[in-house]
Chain A
Amino acid sequence: MNYTSHVTTTAPSPAPQIDQADADQEIITRVLAGSKDAFGILIQRYSDPLYRHALGMTGSPDVAEDILQASFIKAYQHLGEVRGRFDAWVFRIVANSCKDWLKNIRRTHVSYEEDDQPSSFSTPEEEMDRNELRTDLEYALARLPESLREAFVMKHVEGRSYEEMAVLLETTVGALKMRVHRAREALQALLEEKYA
């Protein structure tokens, strides 16, 4: 059975982030005037969501760190070319870097095992179960086409709204819902035999 979704949506418009954009623009002006340290504010402000995106897309903390570093350096070098929201602009740099990496590196298995984030599991059994699910989820994610993986990671891992995703990816909410739904169905097909 072909399970392709056909979902449309009429979601409300996103709330404007004018204040944040203005604050970013002030910082950009300071950086361009010679205050290199001011760029650190932008790094601090946006590194976490960008890191999570790179981590979700690549599955490797080391690669995510490298992509984050290269992307911020590129953003700094081209800061005078920013038009519109800085966060959307730098997100596209990171997203494109992730896609470039995925095109160049094909991997059979992605792993967070190098990550040194602390465990929050209550029991060893729960940790074992969750680690197994995580590994399977990463494996399933790695098998998705890039566009579906990107949409799923942004929605489920990063917790972004469809409206925010539409702004960042410069597409429509309906198109993104379609991608997320298809990603869910593909992931479900890969995972349900073991977990359903």
Chain B
Amino acid sequence: MTDEKSEATPDKPVYRKTPPATPAVQAWLDGDVPREGLATADEQETADLWARINQEAETLRQRHTPIHVQSRILSSLPATPTVRDEVKEEGGFKLSTTAAAIGGIAILAIGALIGFMLVN
């Protein structure tokens, strides 16, 4: 279901009332500096918020693929690992026994006809 209001707005600048995460906070989040390097109260407040967000992100990081999924994937794999070969097989020329017999008779008949014409 589509909701236009919920759609992301790529690359649009966001405006807000409070100061953004400073370069110091970003550096701390990137692991480049320790939290002690955050000097101002605003930075400490922002760091508190991010500590909570990171705690939640850490929980998500512990997620594992449900056990049944791996076996489901394995059992649903096609017989051969390459598509191109399958396409060749599916789209290639197939000759049944009957068609081969009819083709052989036709070739013999044409040969006999040509031979007859050459003789006469």
B40 contacts partner chain A, Cβ-Cβ < 8 Å: no
Q: How many Å lie between the Cα of A70 and that of B117 in the bound state?
A: 63
Give the number of A-B contacts (CB < 8 Å): 165
B115 contacts partner chain A, Cβ-Cβ < 8 Å: no
Instruction: Answer whether A106 and B65 are a contact pair too, CB < 8 Å, given A69-B72, A145-B11, A185-B21.
Output: no
The total of chain B residues at the interface (CB under 8 A) is 54
A128 contacts partner chain B, Cβ-Cβ < 8 Å: no
Per-residue contact bits, chain B 9-53, to A (CB 8 Å; 1 contact, 0 not): 111011110111101001001100000000000000110111011
The total of chain A residues at the interface (CB under 8 A) is 67
Within 8 A of B (CB), among A49-67: 51-52, 55-56, 61, 65
Which residue numbers of A lie inside 8 Å of B, CB to CB? 1-5, 7, 31-32, 36-37, 39-40, 43-44, 47-48, 51-52, 55-56, 61, 65, 68-69, 72-73, 76-80, 106-108, 115-117, 120, 130, 133-134, 137, 142-147, 149, 156-159, 162, 177, 180-181, 184-189, 191-192, 195-196
